[in-house]
Chains A and B, each alone.
Chain A
Amino acid sequence: MKQNGRSQEPEGKWEVQLRKGCLELAILAALWGGKLYGLEILRRLEKDSDLIVSEGTVYPLLSRLKAEALLDSEWVEGEAGHPRKYYRLTPAGRRQAVAMARTWARFSASLDGLLSRLMTEES
């Protein structure tokens, strides 16, 4: 079992990096339509993507994206009786989201030819 785990290690690392990259893009994309607060972003990700997102992961990521000036935030007193912190894309965040989406689409399309052959032979 241990040997099996070791053999999966590079794939695990690759998957971590892939998920990390995807999560950043997914958050930027979720905010494309306008401002959302943390739980709304989580619900949007759950509804519109298959990404498994731990709730504790999203807030630190939002904090870093804000520190990188890709997001802006504001506290709004909600009708729920407690304030909500809303995030929105900054102009730099919108540019970054478009650039990442284009890179993703180009990368995915360029791999499709190779992967489809691999999947056909495997099955």
Chain B
Amino acid sequence: MSPDPKETIEHYLKQMRSGLRGVAEAQVADIVEELRSHILERAQSGDVLSAPAVDAALRSLGRPEEVASLYLAENVMAEAESSRMPWSVLRGIFYWATLSVKGAVVLMICLVGYLFGAAFFIAALAKPFNPKVGLWLLDNRTYSLALGMTDARSQGHELLGWAMVPVGLALGGGTILLTTHFGLWCIHRFRCAKLKKLTGTPSD
């Protein structure tokens, strides 16, 4: 016995909702309602809704996770590409990470990059106010970027002195810029791959 066509539609839309997690609830409700309307429009003949017609409509629309990821690619990630700001890039990659392992890996790399960038910036800005801040060589073998929380003066010596300010600003800015470019490059590739899959362009 074939499943109830209405249940099939609801199951599809539930999967769509789960692919859109992280998107504002009002926008998700609007997307789901529009797709429901599309499916009914395609599958309904008068008042009759048949299971084969619903199946055909859902096949034409595409797999829910693919369509959901295209929504993300065309909205959140398109916004990241156009604004090119670190927080938009991180937001876009965060949504990507909810969809795939590849996205999670890119998110980890970007988080590490931004954390390093922020640490260099904090060190450069805090150096004039706190002598414990700087790049320290501990026990003649370990390098440590101290941000002033701990006192390393008894275990080693500071390497950069006041040069920490320009070096920290340059390294911080450079790391954040590189991380943003890497994030944007990954987002661009993700969007192209999604579009390629859904516009029917041969992949090779």
Which of A's residues lie within 8 Å of B, judged by CB? 2, 4-6, 8-9, 12-13, 15-17, 19-20, 23, 37-39, 52-57, 59-61, 63-64, 67, 75, 80-85
Q: Judge if B196 is at the interface, Cβ distance under 8 Å.
A: yes
Q: Which of B40, B61, B71, B204 gathers most chain A CB within 10 Å?
A: B204
Q: Judge if B171 is at the interface, Cβ distance under 8 Å.
A: no
List chain B residues, Cβ under 8 A from A6: 204
Q: Assess the B75–A8 pair: CB atoms within 8 A.
A: no
Q: Assess the B61–A56 pair: CB atoms within 8 A.
A: yes
List chain B residues, Cβ under 8 A from A84: 37, 41
Q: Assess the A55–B74 pair: CB atoms within 8 A.
A: no
Q: Assess the A59–B34 pair: CB atoms within 8 A.
A: yes
Q: Assess the B31–A16 pair: CB atoms within 8 A.
A: no
Q: Judge if B132 is at the interface, Cβ distance under 8 Å.
A: no
Given known A-B contacts A15-B201, A16-B192, A19-B201, A38 and B38 have beta carbons under 8 A apart: yes
Given known A-B contacts A16-B192, A55-B61, A56-B67, A39 and B204 have beta carbons under 8 A apart: no
List chain A residues, Cβ under 8 A from B201: 12, 15-16, 19
Query: Which residue of the partner chain A has the closest CB to B199?
Result: A19
Q: Assess the A8–B204 pair: CB atoms within 8 A.
A: yes
List chain B residues, Cβ under 8 A from A13: 192
Q: Assess the B71–A82 pair: CB atoms within 8 A.
A: no
Given known A-B contacts A5-B204, A80-B44, A59 and B198 have beta carbons under 8 A apart: no
Nearest chain B CB to A71's CB is how many angstroms away?
13
Q: Assess the A54–B200 pair: CB atoms within 8 A.
A: yes
A-B contact pairs, 20 of them (CB 8 A): A8-B204, A9-B204, A13-B192, A16-B201, A37-B37, A38-B38, A52-B199, A54-B60, A54-B62, A59-B34, A59-B35, A59-B38, A59-B71, A61-B74, A63-B74, A80-B44, A81-B44, A82-B37, A83-B37, A85-B33
Within 8 A of A (CB), among B51-68: 60-62, 66-67
Q: Assess the A60–B41 pair: CB atoms within 8 A.
A: no
Q: Assess the A54–B199 pair: CB atoms within 8 A.
A: yes
List chain B residues, Cβ under 8 A from A12: 196, 201-204
A8 vs B202: C-alpha distance when bound (angstroms):
10
Query: Which residue of the partner chain A has the closest CB to B79?
Result: A67
A25 vs B11: C-alpha distance when bound (angstroms):
34
Q: Judge if B195 is at the interface, Cβ distance under 8 Å.
A: yes
Query: Which residue of the partner chain B has the closest CB to A38?
Result: B38
Nearest chain B CB to A60's CB is how many angstroms away?
4
Q: Judge if B99 is at the interface, Cβ distance under 8 Å.
A: no
Q: Judge if B184 is at the interface, Cβ distance under 8 Å.
A: no
Known: A60-B75, A63-B31, A64-B74. 7 other contacts (CB 8 A): A19-B199, A38-B34, A39-B42, A64-B75, A80-B41, A82-B36, A83-B37
